[in-house]
Every structure is written in structure tokens, then in C-alpha cells.
Structure 1
Amino acid sequence: MAKPQEKVSFGQRLKQIWMVFKFTAKQDKWFMPLALGAVLIPLALTAVAIMIWGWLWLPVGILLTLLAVLIVLNLRSNRAMMNAAEGQPGAAAQIMETMRGDWRVTPAVSSTTQMDMVHLVIGRPGVILLAEGNPQRIRGLLGQEKRRLAKVIGSAPLYDYLIGQGEGELPIRKLRPTLIRLPRNLSGKDVNALDKRLKALTSRPQMPKGAIPKNMRPPRGNFRQTRGR
């Protein structure tokens, strides 16, 4: 469930906007030209309005300029973040955690040592599984998770998506609009009840499937010393 947002001061808000501005300018080559156009066009129209109707149009022009820049920043920053998130492990869960609405996100309810993972999302549409990783490995992991959840979700709808660029996969940039368009099958009470059942199911940590990496294995001598005690 989305946590209540803390109040942000005006200075902190400006700092956040500036960080988003720099990030977008670095990731998106079209952002600066579009932002420049968002500044120049309203200012040019404002200058014409001032010459015809007077200086009362100056505040209006400034507000229109700021609004145009913020619209461009919002559109291009979302695109830049989606491009940066492409192929990053755990990106789908991070995007879901920032979505507006009642989305209960449990990252990596099932995973492998090769960074394949399945995220669990509970919301008004029902139960949603988001799989990230190698398509050949993750499909088996996704199938296991679907069979495990089917025992406890009852009649709640179950959706599953494989995040990626291949055939039959969902590009991460389309994740938000795809889930927003899903029908609202459950009430708020149904979501709460389902969330409690699934929390009980997923509360036990699962060991990642696959070989343990060498840097995570205990030294060989430790096992022999333990046996000798």
C-alpha cells in the first residue's frame, strides 16, 4: 500500500525539480530544444500581447511560460526514466511503487541467483505478477508462482506479465498505462482481505533458485571445523 507522503518544503521541491531537470537533460537529447521552445514561444506571445493590451499581460505570460516548461519536463522526464530503467533488475517493482493509487507491491517474491525475479502486486484489478529476467528461466519461475498463488487467491483475477522487448513481452514503458487500463474487479475491502492472505503466504523468505555464487559460499574449512566440535 502506498505510504502517506511527507510534506515537502518549497525549497526541497525546487531542488527536486532541478535534479529531474538535470537528469532529463542528460538522458534525452530533445529535452533542451523542447524546453527552449516552451520558453520562447509563450514569451514571444506575451510580448505581442503587451504591445497591444499593455503590461498587465506580463504576469500571465510568465505563468504560461512556467506551465509550458513544467509540461515538457513532466513528459520528457517520464520518457527518460523509462529509458534508463530498461533492462535494470527490479525496475518494474520500483515503477509500481511510485504509481498513484492503491497498489500493494512486494518486490521479488520469487527470484534466482541470476537476477531473475517475480514481483507481486495487489490492487483493484486483482493479483498481478510481473516477471523480469531471462525469458527462458523466468517463465518457469512465473509458472511456479502462479500455481502457488492460485491456492489462496480464490476467485480474484490473476494477471501476469513478462517485462521485456521480445515477442509477447510487455515493454517497461507501457507498464503503467497497461495496468491502469485493467478493469477494477475488487472493492477496497476485497483488496485488504487478499493482501492479508498473501502476506501470510509470502512472509517466509524463499531461497533464490540456482547455484550459489562463489563469493557467497562459506570457506571449505568452516564446515569441517563445525563437524569436529
Structure 2
Amino acid sequence: MAKTSDSAQPAAEKPKRSLFNRAPKDGAPKKEKKPGRLKQMVDIFKMTRRHDPMVVWYMLGAFLGLILVSLLVTVLVSPGNWITGLLVGLPLGLLGALLIMSRRAERAAYSQIEGKPGAAGAALSSLRRGWIFDEQPAAVNPRTQDVVFRAIGKPGIVLVTEGPSTRVKGLVDAERRRLNRILPNVTVTVIETGKGEGQVPIAKITKKMNKLKGELTKIEVGAVNKRISSMGNKLPIPKGIDPYKARPDRKASRGR
């Protein structure tokens, strides 16, 4: 009986690949689609409504109020032409409702981080142009978790504290002495965060800072930042070691 060779067997046809039917390679990670703008707005609305149920009525009031104003103005200017007023009022009402949601969403976000460690730093991260903010605290008390954040702008240097006034005072005084030593002519302002007397809530920190009187130019702000950055953070000397009595290891310098 004759044996058929392998070459005589018909080869399986490979599926043709085109630009439209390319399958992803095995093991290749699939790219996650970013949520669209509409989905982001829906998520923000849901988050805001959970913490502020009245946001629905404020948005509805702004929407209907602006449409009504647009209709009244149009009727007074051009009687009988109410369709134009409606066409103008609809986008204005939608814009007003979105602005209300944006403000309420910001309040809801701040209310969630109020009282938590790092809340002041999160609030400062929303500063607008003209400010230089370091995400790392300028001073920290590891035991009590009190921190002092630093921002540099046209009003000078602003220290924002996080912790009880009596407890964080030592950190503020030490940082202020350090800044006055290297920048004696720059104003240093202290803002305490919290809900106590003389303190500023987290949601109003940036507003408070933007109201401060400007004293420096844009170039001077950059120079102040470079001066502080060049000093760096000095590590504390371990207890029990006198830096003036410390001597080098001569055997190590000669080689053992």
C-alpha cells in the first residue's frame, strides 16, 4: 500500500488579517477606556447629591429662573418673539445649573476630607496660577501628626497649619525663624485650618489666600522659591553626639 507524503496533504489555509479584523495578541493588556465627559458629570452629580440632597432643587431653580429671565427680556424687547427667548434661555439655564453643581460638588468634596490628615495640602493643590506650592509639608510632628504646609506667592510666604493651635505653635515658630533667617524681608503669613475661633475652614483656604495683599513680583516669587529650595531640609543630629567634638576616623581615611 502506497504511503501518502505529508506534502500531498492540503495545508490549512491561514485566515487573512486585515486592518479591520485584527485580533489582540494573547496576553496583551487591553487599554481601559476613559470615562466620557457625560459619565464624569453624572458621577459628580451622584456624589454631590449623596452629601447635599438640596443640590437638585438649587440646580432646577437656576435652570428655570434663567429661562424665565430670558423670556421676560425677549418679550419686553421684542413682544411676541418668545421662541428666541426660549432658545437663548435653555443653554443659559443649563450653564447655570452646571455652575451650581460645580460649586456644590466642591463643597461636598471638602466636607469629605475635613479633619483628615493632609486635608490642608489637598486644599492647597487647587491654588491657581501665581502660587508655588510644595506637596511635601514644610514641618511635621510625627507623634501628633501635626503638619505645616508652605505656599509662595505675591503676598509672600504663607504657612498653612493642620492641627490644634496650641500644639502646632512650636512647628510654626520654628519654621518662621528659619524663613526669617534666610529671607528677612519677605512677609510670612500663618493660616490655621479648622472650625475653631480664628481658624479657617478647609473649603475657604484658597479664597483667604487669594485675598491677601500682593507684595512680590512674579520674578521675586521665583527667586524666593529658589532660595528656600537651595536650603533644603536639614536632618536632625542624633542625640548624644556633639558636632563640634566629632573627629574623623583616621584609619578609614588611610585605608585599612
The TM tier, using the shorter chain, reads 0.7 to 0.9
The residue number in structure 1 matching 2:154 is 124
Find the residue that maps to 1:101 and give its secondary structure: coil
Cα shift at 1:36: 2.3
Does residue 1:31 correspond to 2:55, yes or no?
yes
Cα shift at 1:18: 2.8
Cα shift at 1:39: 3.3
Contact 2:71 2:82 in 1 (8 A): no
Cα shift at 1:32: 1.4
**Match 1:111 to one of 131, 140, 147:** 140
Corresponding letter in the other structure for 2:114: E
**Match 1:92 to one of 120, 123, 139:** 120
Q: How does 1:1-229 map to 2 (within 5 A)?
A: 12-42=36-66, 52-53=80-81, 55-106=83-134, 107-113=136-142, 114-204=144-234
Contact 1:110 1:206 in 2 (8 A): no
Contact 2:130 2:154 in 1 (8 A): yes
Separation of aligned partners in 2, 1:96 and 1:76: 18
Find the residue that maps to 2:151 and give its secondary structure: strand
Q: RMSD of aligned C-alpha atoms?
A: 2.7
Separation of aligned partners in 2, 1:28 and 1:96: 23
Deviations 1:43-74 (A, max 9, x none): 56778879942544443132122112122113
Corresponding letter in the other structure for 2:41: I
Contact 1:128 1:159 in 2 (8 A): yes
Separation of aligned partners in 1, 2:90 and 2:187: 49
Q: Which is richer in helix?
A: 1
Contact 1:109 1:202 in 2 (8 A): no
Separation of aligned partners in 2, 1:135 and 1:72: 34
The residue number in structure 2 matching 1:227 is none
Cα 1:205–1:60, aligned 2, differ >3 Å: closer, same or farther? farther
Find the residue that maps to 1:108 and give its secondary structure: coil
TM-score normalised according to structure 1 size? 0.74
Q: For this pair of structures, how many residues does the alignment match? A: 197
Cα 1:136–1:63, aligned 2, differ >3 Å: closer, same or farther? same
TM-score normalised according to structure 2 size? 0.67
Percent identity over paired residues: 30
Find the residue that maps to 1:84 and give its secondary structure: helix
Cα shift at 1:33: 1.5
The structure whose RCO (Cα within 8 Å, separation 6+) is larger is: 1
Stretches of structure 2 that go unaligned for 5 or more consecutive residues are 1-34, 238-256
Separation of aligned partners in 2, 1:167 and 1:46: 44
Contact 1:119 1:131 in 2 (8 A): yes
Separation of aligned partners in 1, 2:82 and 2:197: 59
Corresponding letter in the other structure for 2:223: A
